[in-house]
Amino acid sequence: MRTIVFPYHRRRALIDKIADTFVNEGLQAGNSLAFLIGAQMVSDLLNNEAPQADVDEAITLFVSAWRTAAIPRLVEQQRKGGAA
């Protein structure tokens, strides 16, 4: 039986956590967290026998989602004189 994995790019709490990590802890920490969550997403998909095209699409959507959340926060931080 194949389990449907809820799309990570739609998990607002995860996306917000990644964006907050970029702002509060820096680029290296944000990238590390995004990588770990993304690796778990890929693992979940592969364990549930998702086709490669679905995995590729999920990765693209996931990266787009956290970038969309993080970039405006980083820009705002820079405007306020903070360092990323």
User: Mind listing the pLDDT tens digit for each residue in 12-47?
Assistant: 899 999 999 999 999 999 999 999 999 999 999 999
The two three-digit tokens of residue 21, written as one number: 């990590």
Instruction: Average the pLDDT over each of 1-5, 8-12, 24-28, 65-69 and give the range with the smallest value.
Output: 1-5
In angstroms, what is the C-alpha Rg of the chain? 14
Q: Which of 19, 13, 12, 11 is nearest to 69 (CA)?
A: 19
* In contact, 76 and 36? CB cutoff 8 Å: no
pTM of the model: 0.82
User: Mind listing the pLDDT tens digit for each residue in 42-54?
Assistant: 999 999 999 999 9
Q: Compute the average pLDDT of residues 65-80.
A: 91
CB atoms within 10 A of CB 80: 7
